[in-house]
Chain A
Amino acid sequence: MATLALCALALAGGLVVVLSHAQVHQTGTNDVPLSVQVAALQGTQRVCQDGEHTVAGSAALRLTGAGGGGGAPAPALAVEVLDAATGAPLARGVAASWQGLHATARLRPPIARERPARVCVALAAPASAGGAALYGATAPPARSASAGGRPLDGRFRVEWLGAQARSWWSFAPTVVARVGRGHAFPGAWVALAAALLTSTSIALATWLLVRSS
């Protein structure tokens, strides 16, 4: 019994630690996988991509790529989100630093509603010694990102992020809603049933273990 209690405590502790870890969660992506480098930013070059959709509730935009190189520091990126129909700016931001392969720009103002958009990226300081690369996937020229009106080899990946870091506890209602959407008989019940089934199976197994040992 003592071993069981200790192990259960350790397991519960591990779960609490993992689920309490706060991070910024995605509100959406353009679903472009990361397979190739599609753009290289140098000097005043500006890369734009049509066919994007803003996601309501997003307060930041994350790009994946590589910055700097050759001893130069990773440069800051300037990001602009434009209305696809009118070209009017919807939000702007600067990704001042890179975390690994990610550059995240906080958007001002935050995105209030979903609409077709164009996303443009450039070096925030054109005189930066090192350039930056954006990663994504190949696409036909008509759907590719472009630089100076010339289509590039593909589309870069865009991730829309929520306003602040949230623990899994506070993110749980969102996850519960999302789990239900892609399944048969959609609804919050899908995630809740999965949780109930898992808890029941663990409770049954624990009872059996105690009883039989």
Chain B
Amino acid sequence: MTASAAGARRDAARAGRVRAALARVRAGAARVPRAAWVCALVAVLNATAWSLVTPPFQIVDEPWHYEYVEHVANHGRPPAPSPARLSPSVQIVTEDLDLGRVIGAPENGTIWSRAERARLARDQARVRSERGNGGSYADVPEPPLYYALEAIPFTLARGATVLDRLALMRLVSALLAGVTVLGVFLFLREALPAHPWTWTVGALGVAFLPLFALMGGGLNPDNLLYATAAWLFLAFARIFRRGLTPRRAAAVGALLATGYLAKMNFVGLVPGALLGLLVAGVRAEGALRPRALRLPLLALGVAAAPALLVTLLNVAAWDRPAFGLGAYSTSGVHPTLGHGFDYVWQFYLPPLPGMWRASATTFAARDVWFDGFVGRFGWIDTRFAGWVYDVAAIPALATLALCVRALVRGRRALRARLAELIVYAALAAGLLLLVALASYNLLLRRGGGAAEARYLLPLLPLYGALLVLATRGAGRRWMGVAGVAIVMLAFAHDLFGLLLEVSRYYA
């Protein structure tokens, strides 16, 4: 047998493997209901619409995220800690877009005259330097995966202007919004299998949530976090319904690695995921014995390999702290357990008598979380009129009441799935705790906080489940009415959110 014949055989074998892999992907895609694809497509289209309406760099921290991508694309590595500095080409665009006067000042729209546009075009052509510091490291200590992904359109658009590249990168985020909604739909199918059409209600409710669409239309690593979190919830729903297998354990491990490399906030979901793996391992074995840890350890091994590699690169090659902590670092601060508890409590709930109060901890749960969820756009400076939030409380309470009714009616089934519910609760609690503790850390470090509703969007699968349960809570006779009303409310919410953006920036 000649060498060339052996090579041809190897090529043929490789092509066969590729064909088989593609066939598996096609078969997997074919098993996904068409409704799920449509919901994902709806999310992509809606997020793209938001990306077109929202002016460039008018989503929280977007200039810094752009800078990070630019650094990754130009240097092939994430930025090291350094003073915040935008590259000249981004700096000139932020100045020409009047960012300094528009951010935080809802009375000021974005640029809209021909003269301003001409100046922007002229400056974009004139200033091309991409020598920045990779963003504001103190605020954007994030791991590099999302930025590496966004570096693809950035690099493909070589020679394009800052605004052109930003538009392309926002499209990648919109695609991730579709991936998130696909994950939410499939999670609902696994976790709440009865009444298939209600999965559509839950997924569309997520797709048309304005805060989610706003983020999906912007350059922000939260988008990869949302997608990974949605698929992590799906992975556990499948595991609890169908059992823990090596493939599912590996899938959880891959998701843990992806999430860890996407955004630091993902760490909040890790304790819940570990609990889920442990519970699933024990259930698979029928008892708590060493063998029950086999598949959870497989998942951790899959998760640890890329995480360790990045940690090693952080230290050995990239001059970054091992875990890229940045704003999450506790060095130089002295937290106390009592104050920490009081802060975390007040982060979400009204203070109890005798609790320690710091001015920055006086978050009004409704103001930050409910109003933020209903709609605080741009740099959290674009709000509906005050009465809108009052009116929004009515359908929100009705939805909650219907959801509680469904849970009460299905309490027997709930008891049978208690372990699974505890895992979902642990995933949620871990994230809530991490967001609050990160904010407490920021308070100690520089007197600020970080209470934004978008930080809770990794829990979108649970929001989708809430909508599904509310639909079912209306009872068999009124289920259709409730489901349609929920989706129509979501349409209205989304449309008026877009109009708010238009009136804030262009009128």
Enumerate chain A interface residues (CB-CB to B < 8 A). 3-4, 7-8, 10-11, 14-15, 18-19, 25-26, 28-29, 31-34, 55, 64, 114, 157, 171, 175, 177-179, 181-186, 190-191, 193-195, 197-198, 200-202, 204-205, 208-209, 211-213
Contact = CB atoms under 8 A, between A and B. Distances in A.
B110 A182 contact: yes
B49 A213 contact: no
Given A208-B35, A212-B197, A183 B55 contact: yes
Contacts of A201: 41-43, 45-46, 49, 207-208
Nearest to B481: A3
Contact of B167 (A25, A34, A175, A184): A184
B101 A31 contact: yes
Interface stretch (B112-120, B275-283, B456-464): B112-120
A183 B484 contact: no
Contacts of A204: 38, 41-42, 45
A205 B105 CA distance: 35
Interface in B439-482: 480-481
A198 B46 contact: yes
Given A184-B166, A197-B49, 17 more contacts: A3-B480, A4-B488, A7-B485, A28-B113, A31-B105, A31-B108, A33-B101, A178-B506, A181-B111, A184-B161, A193-B49, A194-B49, A194-B52, A201-B207, A204-B42, A209-B204, A212-B196
Interface residues of B, number: 62
Given A8-B488, A201-B45, A182 B55 contact: yes
4 nearest A-B residue pairs (beta carbon) = A7-B488, A178-B112, A33-B105, A184-B163
A18 B207 contact: no
Given A18-B499, A175-B507, A204-B41, A186 B117 contact: yes
Contacts of A10: 488
Contacts, number: 154
B112 A181 contact: yes
Contacts of A208: 35, 38-39, 42, 200, 204
B108 A33 contact: yes
Interface stretch (B73-81, B229-237, B490-498): B490-498
B104 interface: yes
A3 B484 contact: yes
Contacts of A193: 49, 52
Interface string B321-343: 00000000000000000000000
Contacts of A175: 502, 506-507
Contacts of B488: 4, 7-8, 10-11
Contact of A31 (B43, B55, B98): B98
Contacts of B483: 209, 213
Contacts of B56: 182-184
Contacts of B46: 197-198, 201
B295 interface: no
Contacts of B196: 212
B476 to A, nearest CB: 13
B167 A183 contact: yes
A15 B110 CA distance: 24
A18 B388 CA distance: 13
11 contacts: A4-B488, A25-B507, A29-B107, A175-B506, A184-B161, A184-B167, A185-B167, A191-B52, A205-B491, A208-B35, A209-B200
Given A190-B52, A205-B207, A209-B484, A33 B104 contact: yes
B487 interface: yes
B108 A181 contact: no
Given A34-B107, A212-B196, A179 B502 contact: yes
